[in-house]
Structure 1
Amino acid sequence: MEFSEHIKTANVEDVVLRQPLHPPSRGTLCITGHHLLFSDREEDSSRQLLLLLRNIDAIEKSVENLSGYPGFLSKAGHSERMTGSSGTITIKCKDLRVLQLDIPGMEQCLNIAHSIETLSSLDNVSEMYPFFYRPTELRLQDHWGLSTPEKHYNQMKELHTRWRLSRVNQDYSVCPSYPPAVIVPTIIEDETLRKAAKFRQGGRFPVLCYYHRKNGMVIMRSGQPLVGANRKRCTEDELLLQAVIFRSDKGYVIDTRSSQQVQQARMAGGGFESKSCYNHWKRLHKQMERGKALQESLIKLVEACGDGSHNMDRWLSKLENSKWLSHVQTALSTAGLLAECVER
């Protein structure tokens, strides 16, 4: 596909960029197959905007046609009317930024808006930016500054007695969302992990993600067990969780779904760890909203914070209606419960 066929206007002069917490700036706007670029015309200014088109969630456009003014229609031709008009494009990004572009000329505004709408929603994966990016330096070996399982394991010498580093997921064949190396109980073999993974949603078998040095308690993470309506069992999964329990201690399974959601999930092939099969584990429910509800709540919060036309009472009402603080309270409460279980 030729991106140029979707770019009727490649660049526009005298565009005004408006964004929160910054003064308006006037400069040149350019559009390419994957980016929107804005450069301030001031010589002493270094303000630039480089926006990946795939980062755009939605746009709104409005045009002001001066032909509506008395006498303009009869005195001006089509091209003059188009030039004498102006337009505004409001860009809402996926990272919740809101940008506004004031573009001189209705035709230029509509062309830019059309290009953004088309190029920001390409369906073919091979047409996306990573397939066109040609870096001058390739540094794939550098990490992002995050701790890897290997580094974490080597730093925690206390783990070496009861825990080991497994590379069962070296080629991501066991679980596509886990790293190549994971920390698991020493007595559990890789073949047991493979079988346990088939019993967990997404192959996410229980793995260690936190070790509490004070008392040796650990936090594991996993997907839901695929128990189903027939209440299926997996001996390997039971052995894996039993190996986590030391001596006569009991563990806690914190399920972030409601009891009703858990039952519905079981009828759909998912489920929960039954007490009869996992008798050393106590299940606790702490319902938390999932992605879509949180996203909608955050959008309402951002809209409320970005609207300066309301008085305090109206703003507080919109804040409450977003339910964002309720979600934050639930998350903190769940974290508190988890901390209590670790410190017990």
Structure 2
Amino acid sequence: MEFAELIRISRCDRVMLHRPHHPVLDGTLCITGHHLIVSSRDKEPQELWLLHSNIDTVERRQQGMTGGTLWLKCKDLRILQLDVIGADQFAKVADTLEDLIRVEEPLLQYPFFYRAMYQILEDGWTAFMPESEFSRLVQPGDDWRISYVNKDYKVCPSYPSAVVVPKNIEDNDLIAIANFRQASRFPVLAYRHEGTAVLLRSGQPLITANGKRCKEDERLLNSVLARDKRGYIIDTRTQNLAQSAKVRAFIPFKTL
């Protein structure tokens, strides 16, 4: 997708790019559906290619009709300064970048759009098969299973489409647990030792000052910690953050 409806201006001349530990780059700005490109006009050309998804915020400082400065604060901690001449060009560049960095649909992101210009020797989509990889964690007849409750990434957008969970926990229970955990990250199996010890990872529980609980979440944890086993729940938050989380509103159960 080219995002033609979002790109008000695709080319802008006479821009100045300031970035740490680099000389000022005087050149041309090009905006594509996924990249911001700045190219110099020097005999030894320099270029900056920046994915829109790497830009966290765009701050604009207009200087009347002469143009203005854009501060691009990136997710890799870089801060880039872009000087644009002309009030109209400045406004169009700023509006375009602000709209492009807000595109959140995963299927519209660059990895799904990219088409290689050479012959692909290996199908990357089949390089990692959950069933074969998880076969080292899930043994026939044991207490774990592969769940595809997140196959469309609607339950937890930061989890893969296939996860390993306790066998006696249904997918509907996982949805309820996701609504009880921060960022919808319900407990999933991350590591399994030869001696049957396991490591689960999850988001923090969204409990309130009233101490509301989630019976599905407790049932999942109890299914892992049998009577003859002992386990530990490690909270990586600071004590202040853990206390402040109790006053947050409880997210009610909803079906997806």
TM range (shorter): 0.5 to 0.7
**Alignment partner for residue 69 of structure 2, among 67, 76, 89?**
89
Q: 1:90/1:49 Cα in 2 relative to 1: closer, same or farther (>3 Å)?
A: same
Aligned to 2:43, the other structure's residue is in SS state coil
Partners of 1:226 and 1:184 in 2: CA distance = 20
**Alignment partner for residue 130 of structure 1, among 108, 112, 118?**
108
Q: Computing the radius of gyration over CA atoms, which structure comes out larger, 1 or 2?
A: 1
CA displacement at 1:35 relative to structure 2: 4.6
- Aligned residues with identical type, % of pairs: 28
Partner of 1:248: 228
Say yes or no: does 1:142 pair with 2:120: no
Residue by residue over 1:148-203, the C-alpha shift from the partner in whole angstroms, topping out at 9 and shown as x without a partner, is 7545423458x667453323426448833333322233xx33xx322432442436
**Alignment partner for residue 87 of structure 2, among 87, 110, 116?**
110
Q: What RMSD, in angstroms, separates the aligned Cα atoms of the two structures?
A: 4.6
Q: 1:101/1:212 Cα in 2 relative to 1: closer, same or farther (>3 Å)?
A: same
Q: 1:250/1:148 Cα in 2 relative to 1: closer, same or farther (>3 Å)?
A: farther
Instruction: Report matched runs for 1:189-228 at 5 Å.
Output: 189=168, 192-202=169-179, 204-213=185-194, 215-223=195-203
Q: Which has the higher helix share?
A: 1
Unaligned runs of 5+ in 2: none
Unaligned runs of 5+ in 1: 66-81, 271-344
Say yes or no: does 1:179 pair with 2:160: yes
CA displacement at 1:248 relative to structure 2: 1.9
Q: Is the 8 A contact 1:56 1:92 kept in 2?
A: yes
Aligned to 1:17, the other structure's residue is in SS state strand
Q: Is the 8 A contact 2:67 2:89 kept in 1?
A: no
Instruction: Report matched runs for 1:11-90 at 5 Å.
Output: 11-13=12-14, 15-31=15-31, 35-45=35-45, 47-53=46-52, 55=55, 57-61=57-61, 63=63, 89-90=69-70
CA displacement at 1:141 relative to structure 2: 5.7
Aligned to 2:247, the other structure's residue is in SS state helix
Partners of 1:126 and 1:227 in 2: CA distance = 28
Pick 1 or 2: higher relative contact order, CA cutoff 8 A, min separation 6: 2
Partners of 1:128 and 1:114 in 2: CA distance = 27
Q: Is the 8 A contact 1:168 1:174 kept in 2?
A: no
Amino acid at match of 2:220: L
Q: 1:50/1:109 Cα in 2 relative to 1: closer, same or farther (>3 Å)?
A: farther
CA displacement at 1:20 relative to structure 2: 1.0
Aligned to 1:251, the other structure's residue is in SS state coil
Q: TM-score, normalised by structure 2?
A: 0.64
Residue by residue over 1:267-286, the C-alpha shift from the partner in whole angstroms, topping out at 9 and shown as x without a partner, is 7368xxxxxxxxxxxxxxxx
**Alignment partner for residue 243 of structure 2, among 260, 263, 266?**
260
Instruction: Report matched runs for 1:268-279 at 5 Å.
Output: 268=250
Q: Is the 8 A contact 2:34 2:109 kept in 1?
A: no
Q: Is the 8 A contact 2:68 2:87 kept in 1?
A: no
Q: How many residue pairs end up in the alignment?
A: 233
